[in-house]
Amino acid sequence: MAKGWQTFEDSNFVAGDSPITLDVSGELTRPSDTGYIACDGAGSIQVEVAVTSGNLFGDPFTMRQGEAVTFDGSRVQKIRLTHLGTDSAYRVVCVAF
């Protein structure tokens, strides 16, 4: 059985890195049940989350410096992050039970 957690980090998220799709279920071999996304950099990032297989993402939302979002029971498959003009940073932790 694969490990039950996965982290994704980028302390220098620049335009050339964007957009990036984090394949949560691919890394964990199953969807994530709980976790968080944190915006650590000066710039904002756009976040989209897919909770079904494939690339069907929900509505995008913007995260600004210092903001964090937790998810619990969402069965996260993928997370897409997009750079929004000013360099930033992010941390993502995903856990599957």
Question: pLDDT tens, 12-23?
Answer: 999 999 999 999
Single pTM value for the model = 0.93
- Domain-located, residue 97: no
- Domain-located, residue 45: yes
- Domain-located, residue 63: yes
Domain of 14 in residue numbering reads as 5-92
- Domain-located, residue 55: yes
Burial (CB < 10 A; 0-12, 13-18, 19+), residue 59, is exposed
Q: Are 97 and 29 in contact (CB under 8 A)?
A: no
Q: How many domains does the chain have?
A: 1
Instruction: Read off the CATH number of the domain in which 29 is found.
Output: 2.60.120
Average of per-residue pLDDT across 39-68? 94
What is the pLDDT, as a whole number, of residue 17? 96
Residue 2 has pLDDT above 70, yes or no: no
